[in-house]
Amino acid sequence: SVVFPDELGLDMAGTAFWVLASGTTDIFEIAVTPAPADDDHELLLTLNQFAAGDRPVRAYFYREQDERPRLMVLNDPSGDIAIVDLDTGSTDLVQTSWAFNQLEVFDVTDEETGVTSQEAVLFKSGSPTLVFAELGNLSGRGIRALSPLVLDSQLGSLEVEADTLHAVVNHSDGQRLSVVDLRRRYDVPLPASATISSVTLGPTGEQVYATVNSRPVLATIDLESGNPSEFDLIDPASQLLMIPALDLMLLYHRVPDSVTLARISDPNVQTSYYDFLFNDLFGQAESRFGGER
C-alpha cells in the first residue's frame, strides 16, 4: 500500500510528489522536471529516496522560514517526526513521547505583526493528547517547536474549522465533546448530561451550539467565559444547521417531522414548521452521504 502526503510541492521549475510504501521505512520522491530543449522528451522523471524514521504513516509538504522545501513525516507508534530537507536529502529526527498518526494544518496570523505562519495539530484516535507544531520553526527548534495539549479523555475524531481557528473534538466514549481554540491552544469541554446528537460552532467561533438526544433543548457554551446556556425547544432536535447570512439556525426534529428556525442572536425567537415531509428529505440525504451527519 502507498500513502500520499496531504499536499504536493509545486514551483515554477517543475513538480514533485512523494510516496510512503508499506514494507519500507523510506519515503520516495518522484520529481517531474522540464527536459532540456534538445531532449526528445518533454518531461524528465527522477526518483529519490530519503530516510523517514522507523514506521512512517503520514507526510506533509511545507516550507520553513528559510523557504527550503521540506517534508514532515509522522511515525507511528514511536511518535517520532522526520524532517526531510528536499534540497539536500538530509533527515532530522525529532523524538517525542506522544502518539500521533494524523494531522490538520491551518494558518495563524499574528494579531500584532500581521505575519501569517503555518501550524499543524497532530493527533491519534484513542490518545488524549493533541500536539501543536510550528512548521516554520520545526527543523531549527526541534521538539521546542512542539506543544502538547492534554484533553480530559481519549480522542475519537477531530475536525478543524480553519475560518474561526477552532477544532471540534469528538471523544471516543461518544458522550463528550470539546472545542479547541487553535490560536490560544486550550480546550473547552462541553457539558453533556445526555448523548449529543448534533454540534456546530457559531459564525464568530465564540460559541458552540449543540442539540441533545431526547431533550427539547438547544445547548450553548461561550468559549471565552466557559458559561453554558440552554434554550427550550418545542421538541427534541436531531440536526442543527447555521445560516449566518440570515441570522438563523435551522433545527430538524424527527418526531414530529418538523423544523424550527431560531435566531442566532436570540435563540428564544423561534418559528416551527410541521408536515413538510422533511423526514423523507433528510432520509434521502443520509442515505446518499452514508450515514447521519
Nearest to 241 by CA among 223, 218, 268: 218
pLDDT at 159: 78
pLDDT at 2: 61
pLDDT at 192: 61
Confidence of residue 6 (pLDDT cuts 50, 70, 90): low
> How many Cβ atoms are within 10 Å of 30's Cβ, its own excluded?
13
Contact between residue 213 and residue 236 where contact means Cβ atoms under 8 Å apart: yes
Give the best-scoring range by mean pLDDT among 162-171, 190-199, 253-262, 263-272.
263-272
**Could you read off the pLDDT of 204-224 as tens digits, one per residue?**
877 888 888 788 999 888 877
Q: Across residues 27-36, what is the average pLDDT?
A: 82
Element (H, E) at 188: strand 186-190
Report which of residues 232 and 228 the model is more confident about: 232
Task: Please tell me the distance from the alpha carbon of residue 262 to that of residue 260, in angstroms, as a whole number.
Answer: 6
Task: Please tell me the distance from the alpha carbon of residue 168 to that of residue 187, in angstroms, as a whole number.
Answer: 9
Task: Please tell me the distance from the alpha carbon of residue 247 to that of residue 67, in angstroms, as a whole number.
Answer: 42
3-state secondary structure 246-285: HCEEEEEECCCCEEEEEECCCCCCEEEEECCCHHHHHHHH
Structure pTM? Answer: 0.69
Task: Please tell me the distance from the alpha carbon of residue 270 to that of residue 235, in angstroms, as a whole number.
Answer: 12
pLDDT at 102: 93
Mean pLDDT of all residues in the chain? 83
**Could you read off the pLDDT of 110-159 as tens digits, one per residue?**
888 888 899 999 999 999 999 999 998 888 899 999 999 999 899 988 87
Show me where the domains of the chain are located. Answer: 191-293
Q: Across residues 52-77, what is the average pLDDT?
A: 88
Task: Please tell me the distance from the alpha carbon of residue 137 to that of residue 142, in angstroms, as a whole number.
Answer: 8
| 259 to 85, 210, 233, 271: CA distances (angstroms) | 54, 15, 11, 8
**Could you read off the pLDDT of 79-108 as tens digits, one per residue?**
999 999 988 889 999 999 999 999 999 999
What is the dihedral sign for C-alpha 19, 22, 23, 26? positive
What is the fold, at CATH topology level, of the domain defined by 191-293? Neuraminidase (2.120.10)
pLDDT at 261: 93
| All three cell numbers of 51 | 530516510
pLDDT at 9: 59
Bridging pattern class, strands 248-253 and 258-263:
antiparallel
Element (H, E) at 288: helix 278-289
Element (H, E) at 286: helix 278-289
Q: Which residues are paired to 28 by β-bridges?
A: 19, 49
